Structure 1
Amino acid sequence: MNILLTGPFGNIGQAVLAELLARGHDVRCFDVPSHRNRRVAKGWRNHPIHIQWGDLRQPEDVRRAVVGRDAIIHLAFVIPKLSATGKESEAEPEFARAVNVDGSRHLIEAVQQLAPEAKFLFTSSVHVYGPTQHLPPPRRVTDPVNPVEHYARHKVEVEKMVRASGLTWAIFRLAASMPIRMIFDPGMFDVPLDNRIEYIHRRDVALAVANALEREAAWNRLWLIGGGPRNQYIYRDMAAKILDAMGVGMLPAQAFTTAPFAVDWMDTEESQRVLQFQTHTLDDYVAELRRNLGWRRAWVAIFRPLVRAWLLRQSPYYHQPVHELRPSSG
């Protein structure tokens, strides 16, 4: 199948790209030519991919990208943290809207005009439900959306456009899928320790995407894509696993917000039945994190007090003297 993949060089994008190539698909990669993306793309130079650098804000770039494609997998989005653009949706909402909403509109219109028979898969997010900790879990596809941030509002707008497009579509609302470097971002402190959160491994997202292309039952439907019950955590336990794997140890509870965060557990029974994608757990991610750190983990152990101090300085919520750095159970 001839596929256009937007955002191929991000966290989930690279996993999707690898899975599509493993299945023999012809993949055209569309992304912005940032320094980071060009560096990541060099790692794929020995793979049979076609890279088209461009900008979703430019209709002509988008039109060239969709020609001759049988399926569009639309991942590219400016996100709250760690965006491949180097900008964040909440810090620069006008820029984010131009990429996320206007760019998605350009993409949908180009497909309508130039590849109307193509399938269109859009990845949305559990963030669209807003804070739901006061509600009994899990979240379901029938639950109302209540976006409270620019990123989530943009996702809701694009979902509506996709559904109204007249194309053959699928929407995946994804659970949390952390990149290896997530732990060094201040965003880790923006989730309260008692918040429910569901993890999904990026390779399982990729599996769901690739399987959808082969299953007619996947189309013209909205799906919740999470890791399933064995990946449903209270954030305190998830954070402890990750911080312990790094050799840092759990940080004081005062470093984390107490404001509810827009993630929750999800009902994935039907999506798993149709798409058969839940193969990894958070423990797999933690093992990868350990391997990725390699010898550096020993250095973290040696300089543990300094690393903890540095991490605590990233927290906007931590107001204790930085010499109070003993491990905490939260």
Structure 2
Amino acid sequence: MKVLLTGSFGNVGLSTLEELIRKNYSIRVFDIYNKKNRKIASKYKDQVDIIWGDLRNPTDVEHAVEGQDVVIHTAAIIPPLADKRPKFAESVNVGGTKNIINAMKNQPQKPKIIFTSSVSIYGDRVDNPLIKPTDVPRPNPDDEYAKQKLRCEEIIKSSGLDWSIYRLTYIVSLNKLHMDPLMFDMPLSTCIEICDTKDVGFALAAGVENKYIWGEVLHIAGGERCRISYREYLNEMLGIFGLGQNFLPSEAFSVAGFHCGFMTTDKSQALLNYQRYSLDEYFNNVRKKVAFSRFFTMMFRPFARKYLLNKSHYYKKYLNTL
């Protein structure tokens, strides 16, 4: 089985690549050429066929798709860059997906496509947190990334090709523990259901030869063992880092207009059997990862608090009202 993986050196892409290698597929990877990706690729150069290129370039994409049986399309420009440069993000996310679909249609033997979409397409679900795959997507008006993902879904569904769409939840990874300013955009009352990136990779690789996923929209999330409120999640993570619970005031966070929720995953779990890591296991693994640096973080707590709050425009707005 010949499998093309786009975005192979990103977070979800790498997890998927590891699973595809474990399954001994004939793997072709497609990603943008830069210093970071080149360094990661050196680890896999003897195990995969590496094609460097740009999703916006139809010739590059045609070369990558040629002769493949399944395309796993994870490549995307994600927030915060997608928010800062929406036109650029659209050219990659939507334009790149169009190029992939066109290249697939041009093949004598049409490949199948597995596409990674996002929970963000459902918009704000603070008041209605349980999300089913049959729920009507309603992206937040200012969420360009979500709207682009939804457009990609529509392009794929109308392509006439065999497809499966995986709508991904809040993905966590031990390799992505930095605190991003986006953390303040999520209301503390939001329900979140994490999924370890390794489980996402497992689910994507498990779909390659699964005849029951085609034509299906599947939720990929961690299950009931991975559900928590954002307030509880944040307090636990800040405590693990040595910053203490309730380290950040509620005034630093949005109260509406984000996304996430609890995703029903009965169908995806029955088909793919991918939910291996629990929320508690993730917290324990983070503790092990930051055990050495935790002492130094505790020493600089006041500076860390000031630094983080400076990233929140909600908190700055709150201070201006005092």
Q: Report the TM-score when normalising by structure 1.
A: 0.90
In structure 2, the partner of 1:160 is: 154
The whole-number CA distance in structure 2 between the counterparts of 1:6 and 1:41 is 13
1:60 paired with 2:59, answer yes
Cα distance, 1:24–1:229 mapped onto 2, change above 3 Å: same
Does structure 1 conserve the Cα–Cα contact (< 8 Å) formed by 2:227 and 2:279?
A: no
Structure 1 unpaired stretches of 5+: 82-87, 322-330
In structure 2, the partner of 1:277 is: 274
Q: State the shift of 1:261 in Å.
A: 1.5
The whole-number CA distance in structure 2 between the counterparts of 1:62 and 1:224 is 27
The whole-number CA distance in structure 1 between the counterparts of 2:47 and 2:280 is 32
The whole-number CA distance in structure 2 between the counterparts of 1:48 and 1:156 is 34
Q: State the shift of 1:249 in Å.
A: 2.0
Alignment match of 2:182 (pick from 177, 180, 187) = 187
In structure 2, the partner of 1:212 is: 207
Q: State the shift of 1:182 in Å.
A: 4.6
Does structure 1 conserve the Cα–Cα contact (< 8 Å) formed by 2:2 and 2:70?
A: yes
Q: Which residue identity is paired with 2:22?
A: A
Q: State the shift of 1:44 in Å.
A: 3.5
In structure 1, the partner of 2:265 is: 268
Q: Report the TM-score when normalising by structure 2.
A: 0.92
- Give the total of aligned pairs: 313
Deviations 1:223-267, CA, capped at 9 Å, x for gaps:
011111111211101111211121122322222221242111111
1:127 paired with 2:120, answer yes
In structure 2, the partner of 1:223 is: 218
Cα distance, 1:29–1:245 mapped onto 2, change above 3 Å: same
SS of 2:113's equivalent? strand
In structure 2, the partner of 1:117 is: 110
1:5 paired with 2:5, answer yes
Q: State the shift of 1:33 in Å.
A: 1.1
Deviations 1:5-53, CA, capped at 9 Å, x for gaps:
00011111111111110111121111111333223323444x5122111
Deviations 1:93-144, CA, capped at 9 Å, x for gaps:
1111100101100001101112643220000011111112222x41111111
Cα distance, 1:105–1:209 mapped onto 2, change above 3 Å: same
Q: State the shift of 1:277 in Å.
A: 0.8
Cα distance, 1:202–1:181 mapped onto 2, change above 3 Å: closer
Structure 2 unpaired stretches of 5+: none
Structure 1 vs Structure 2: percent identity of aligned residues?
38
The whole-number CA distance in structure 1 between the counterparts of 2:183 and 2:289 is 19
The whole-number CA distance in structure 2 between the counterparts of 1:249 and 1:167 is 51
Deviations 1:269-292, CA, capped at 9 Å, x for gaps:
111111111111223332333333
Deviations 1:79-103, CA, capped at 9 Å, x for gaps:
113xxxxxx1111111111001011
The whole-number CA distance in structure 2 between the counterparts of 1:52 and 1:248 is 43
Cα distance, 1:11–1:115 mapped onto 2, change above 3 Å: farther
In structure 1, the partner of 2:254 is: 257
